Structures are given as C-alpha cells and as structure tokens.
Amino acid sequence: MPDPAKSLSVVIPLYEEEDNVAPLLAAVHAGLADYPGPWELICVDDGSRDATGRRLIEEAGRYGRHVRVVRLRRNFGQTAAMQAGIDAARGALIATLDGDLQNDPADIPRMVRELEARDLDLLQGWRRQRQDESTRKFFSRSANRLIGRVTGVKLHDYGCSLKIYRAEVIKQVRLFGEMHRFIPVWVAGVTSPQRIGETEVHHRARERGTSKYGLSRTFRVILDLLAAFFFLRFRARPGHFFGSFGLVLGGLGGLLLVYLAGVKFIGGEHIGQRPLLFVAILLCVASLQFLTTGVLAELLSRTFFESAGRGVHTVCWEHDPEHAQWKEPPAGAGA
C-alpha cells in the first residue's frame, strides 16, 4: 500500500499556454510514473483568453480523474492562481511548478525524497544552469542577494517556481498580490528558516509561447521586499517598527529644543527665525505621528489575530502519551 504521508499534489498555474498543455501533462506523467505514493495534478487556468482551458479539459479526460482543472473567472495573476491550486490540493505534500515547461517535472520525486531525508518544510529549486537571457539572470541574481540579506533567508534562487512543501505548513500562509516571489520568506513566518532548504534542479529554455515576465518587475520586487520584511519581522508587533522611528525622531527633536532653549534663556539670543527651530518642531511632530501610528497598528494587529482565532505561533508537534493526566500530589502533601 502507498504511504499516505507521501501523498502528493502537483499544482501548476497556467496563463495562455495552450501550446504547452499537452506536452506539460505528458511530462508530468512521465516524471511521476514511478512515484511510490498517490498523487494528483491540479492545473489552474488563470483566466486565459486562448484555448488553454479547453485543452486542459481535453487532456484531463485522456489521463483520468487524478487530473483536476480549476479555472478562474478572470486573470488574477500567478499568486492568486497558485493559492487556488494550494486550496484545492489534498496531498500531504504539495509541489508547484510553472506551466511553460522550463521546470522539469522529473525532478519532483527526487525533491520529495530529499525533503523527507533532510526533514524540511520547504525545498526550493535552484536553477543553477538557468536557460534565460543574460540580462534577466543578472537582475535575478542581484535580487536574490538583496532578499537574502534583508530577510535572513539565504537562498540562491527565489524565483524558481519548482518547490516542494508540507501541506500543513504552506496552508497556513495566505498568498496575496504578487507574493509568489517571496514564498520562502512568508513560509519563514510559520516555520524556522533552518527547515527551508534548496536543491539544484534542471532548467530548460522556453520552446513554446511567450514569457509573461519583463524587467519592469524588478521595481515591484523592491516594494514587495519591503512589505515582506515588515510582515516577517513585525507582523505581531508593528508598534516596535513605528515606535522605534518615533523615539529616534523625538529624541533628536528634543535635543535640538533643549539646545535652542539654552541659546534663548542663557545666551539671550533670538531663535524665532532660526531654521533649526522649525526642524526641531517638525521632528517632534513626526515623532508623535509615528508613535500614534504604532499604537493604531498594534490595535489592528491584535484585532486581526483575535478575530481570526489565530495565534502568533505555530505548533510543529506535541508529545502526548495516551492523553497524559495531571500528576496527583502524594497523600498528606500540604497538610
């Protein structure tokens, strides 16, 4: 009997990849032909305007009921399509990859074994021999170094969509906007960065269709990185983030006001027209704004966690031998 712990869901978001549908499904079935556990394939059509949806239905009918197709009402973006597939997944493990055939599905069984052997919650693919233009590779490597330094999650290739997750971990993460670029960072919010690893995977040049990515996303990566850094470090304590700025600005403003007071009352000089006075007042006002923003952010954070019934921690496992009972005190104790 197959091991239920190795049940696998393969999630593939697609957008206008009609020419890749048939070879993609064939490659997935060839790569998982000897997989030792039960598996399913979930293809998410992200509101394609070409024949991608129709061809997915046709190919699913050829292979059987383990191939499931989810179609979104319009194009919501890769992050939303990936989240839709993860929500529909039923396996204990979840694999994600792109629908452009640049990722090799044959890497998945090896990655599953490596995930189990290294006891990881997320195994990230590393396209060491990436088959893309030199310009894209340069910007990608620069972004990867920046993300690693800012977040502390050290990986070589954040952009590779080929990943293996434990379902119990990735289902605790909700993906919005364009968060798919920073999935390891968001996962680090519910598990230890030491349980996130990477491994080399094959990468092939695109043969059919056109790429949906451009260099313009480099600027969006910087904005997304700021949001990821904030939520990773200060999601449960946003007051510390805003309060630290408020205290620093307030301290500077206060020192300047003390200095100007000395100039006024000890030196007898006029300070009403000094630019330094206006700078000091501006710093104090900005400090007050940061501090009050921090208090409001704390209220919103607490309201979110309490209303959603979620804590700021996640439990990995608990040792509970046969519903352990309270230890009774010995007779006469406390007399």
Q: Which residue has the higher pLDDT, 310 or 45?
A: 45
| pLDDT computed for residue 137 by the predictor | 62
Distance CA 207, CA 112 (A): 27
Q: Which residue has the higher pLDDT, 177 or 321?
A: 177
| pLDDT computed for residue 203 by the predictor | 82
Instruction: Tell me whether residue 332 is in a domain.
Output: no
Residues 270 and 202 in one domain: no
| pLDDT computed for residue 302 by the predictor | 75
Average pLDDT over residues 212-227: 65
Instruction: Tell me whether residue 313 is in a domain.
Output: no
Average pLDDT over all residues of the chain: 82
Statement: the pTM of the whole predicted model exceeds 0.75: no
Instruction: Check pLDDT > 60 for residue 322.
Output: no
| pLDDT computed for residue 92 by the predictor | 93
| pLDDT computed for residue 29 by the predictor | 95
Which DSSP string do the residues of 138-179 spell out, in sequence order? HHHHHHHHHHHHHHS---S-TT---EEEEHHHHTT----TTG
Residues 167 and 293 in one domain: no
Residues 136 and 244 in one domain: no
Residue type, 115: L
Q: Residue 28: how many CB atoms within 10 A of its CB?
A: 22
Confidence band for 324, pLDDT divided at 50, 70 and 90: low
Confidence band for 26, pLDDT divided at 50, 70 and 90: very high
Residues 218 and 251 in one domain: no
CATH of the domain at 102: 3.90.550.10
Instruction: Tell me whether residue 44 is in a domain.
Output: yes
Number of folded domains in the chain? 2
| Residue 123 near residue 93, CB atoms below 8 Å | no
Instruction: Check pLDDT > 50 for residue 335.
Output: no
Residues 255 and 175 in one domain: no
Residues 276 and 159 in one domain: no
Average pLDDT over residues 141-157: 72
| pLDDT computed for residue 5 by the predictor | 60
Residues 95 and 178 in one domain: yes
Residues 12 and 143 in one domain: yes
Average pLDDT over residues 271-284: 90
Instruction: Check pLDDT > 80 for residue 88.
Output: yes
With the CA atoms of 111, 117, 118 and 122 taken in that order, what torsion angle do they form, in degrees rounded to the nearest 10?
Answer: 40
Instruction: Tell me whether residue 335 is in a domain.
Output: no
Residues 218 and 101 in one domain: yes
Residues 246 and 199 in one domain: no
Average pLDDT over residues 246-250: 93
Tell me whether strands 163-166 and 196-200 are parallel, antiparallel or unpaired: unpaired
Exposure letters 153-172 (e unless 16+ CB within 10 A, then b): bebbbbbbbbbbbbbebbee
Residue 211: domain span: 4-234
Instruction: Write phi, then psi, for 105 (nearest 5 degrees).
Output: -60, -20
Residues 141 and 277 in one domain: no
Instruction: Tell me whether residue 88 is in a domain.
Output: yes
Instruction: Check pLDDT > 90 for residue 283.
Output: yes
For residue range 39-60, list pLDDT tens digits in order: 999 999 999 998 999 999 999 9
268: DSSP letter: -
Average pLDDT over residues 269-290: 90
Instruction: Tell me whether residue 328 is in a domain.
Output: no
Confidence band for 161, pLDDT divided at 50, 70 and 90: confident
Strand residue runs (E) in the chain? 8-14, 39-45, 67-71, 93-96, 122-126, 163-166, 196-200
Distance CA 105, CA 121 (A): 20
| pLDDT computed for residue 58 by the predictor | 93
